[in-house]
Structure formats: structure tokens, C-alpha cells
Amino acid sequence: MREAGAAGAAGVGRAGEGGPGGAAASRGGSGIEAASRGGSGIEAASRGGSGIEAASRGGSGAEAASRGELAFARRLARSLVAECDPLAVLLFGSWAKGTANVHSDVDLVVVLRERPSPMLRAALEDAVHGVPMHVDLLLWTPADVEAARADPAGFAGSVLSGAIVVHGLLPSASERS
């Protein structure tokens, strides 16, 4: 586990290559495998259904991500919500842009009310363990969101500017921790 980004957000990764702010994790997990069998996202795209190919036709933000990818990201978010009560869960990176392929990881920001304990970090790692692709989690607080807004050219700012909210609401500046 390592700190990531100018905002000091914690990165949590899952087995595979570490992405932005992610460290590889290899802990046992929960039942997200079932969510990945729902006919959406990358697996559906590889079977000819909705997913990556549909999203690659252009656009940005919510317009770029396909319905299947958003549905899959929302199922991941629900699994994370079951472990904690985040203010928001954001999808960013290639899945949000609609440029993901079968080798892409799923990048999520989980906005928590306060810095996570080691136990919560482990629980969040476990919650995404059964997913058939790498999931990279960034754990932010409202202060990290504010720092990202203040520095749109930095890493955290670029994450925030291209993100799609898949659960909850982004905190305003008045909710800073």
C-alpha cells in the first residue's frame, strides 16, 4: 500500500500490475465474481455484447462509457458500499473515457469521510478480489477532492476531471475534513 497523487490519497490495488496509486494485493475476497457474470463490461464486449466496442465510438465522460461498463462499475461500487459508507465512488481512466480494452484495469476513487484504517483498506481490497480484471482503488477524503479541484493540472485533478460518479455525490468544499 502506498500513498498516491498530489492530494495524498491512499492507493489500494488488487492482484496484477500496480496502476496509478495502486499496490498489488493478493488477499481473499468477496462474491463480486457474480457481478462480473451479469453480461456487461469487458466480458460482454468480448462475447459481442455491449461494452468496450460500443464505448469506443467517441465522446467523453458519461457519454463515452457504455451502459454495460457503467452497470459493472455500479455493481463494484455497491460491493464497496457494503464494506463502508463512502460519500462517493467515481469511475475514471479508460473505462470512463470509453477507451478500455480486454487488458484494461478498472479505476475507481472511493471518497471516504476520513482516512481509512488498515482494516478498512483490507476489507475494500477483499470486496474487489473476485473481479476477473485488475481493480485499482484510490481512497480519498473530502480534503483530497478539494485538493484535486484546486490543482486541475495535477494527477488527482486529472482523475477528477475525467471521472464519472457511479455512487453518491462528490463533497463540496464546505464538507472538507
pLDDT value for 11: 52
The span from the CA of 70 to the CA of 151, in Å, is 27
Q: Is residue 26 part of a domain?
A: no
The span from the CA of 100 to the CA of 162, in Å, is 14
- CATH number for the domain spanning 85: value is 3.30.460.10
**Least confident range of 6-10, 69-73, 117-121:** 6-10
- The SS3 of residue 170 is coil
Query: What is the pLDDT averaged over residues 131-157?
Result: 95
**Count of C-beta atoms within a 10 Å radius of residue 58:** 9
Cell 453480461 -> residue: 39
Q: Is residue 32 part of a domain?
A: no
Q: Which domain holds residue 157?
A: 71-168
Q: Is residue 8 part of a domain?
A: no
pLDDT value for 174: 55
pLDDT value for 126: 93
Q: Is residue 136 part of a domain?
A: yes
Q: Is residue 123 part of a domain?
A: yes
pLDDT value for 166: 96
- Identify the CA nearest to 114 among candidates 78, 92, 139: 139
Q: Is residue 107 part of a domain?
A: yes
Look at 24 and 108; give whichever has higher pLDDT: 108
Q: Name the helix (H) or strand (E) containing 110.
A: strand 106-111
pLDDT score of 108 more than 50: yes
pLDDT score of 110 more than 70: yes
In the structure, what pLDDT confidence band is assigned to residue 114 with cuts at 50, 70 and 90? very high
Q: Is residue 1 part of a domain?
A: no
Q: How far is CA 40 from CA 70, 71, 101, 137, in A?
A: 9, 7, 13, 20
Q: Is residue 121 part of a domain?
A: yes
Look at 47 and 167; give whichever has higher pLDDT: 167
As a whole-number percent, the residues of the chain with pLDDT over 70 amount to 61
The span from the CA of 85 to the CA of 45, in Å, is 31
What pLDDT, in 10s, does the model give residues 35-78? Answer: 333 333 333 333 333 333 333 333 444 456 788 889 999 999 99
Query: How would you class 174 by CB atoms within 10 Å of its CB: exposed for 0-12, middle for 13-18, buried for 19 or more?
Result: exposed
Q: Which cell numbers in the block locate residue 88?
A: 462517493
Cell 479541484 -> residue: 149
- Number of domains forming the structure of the chain: 1
- The SS3 of residue 167 is strand
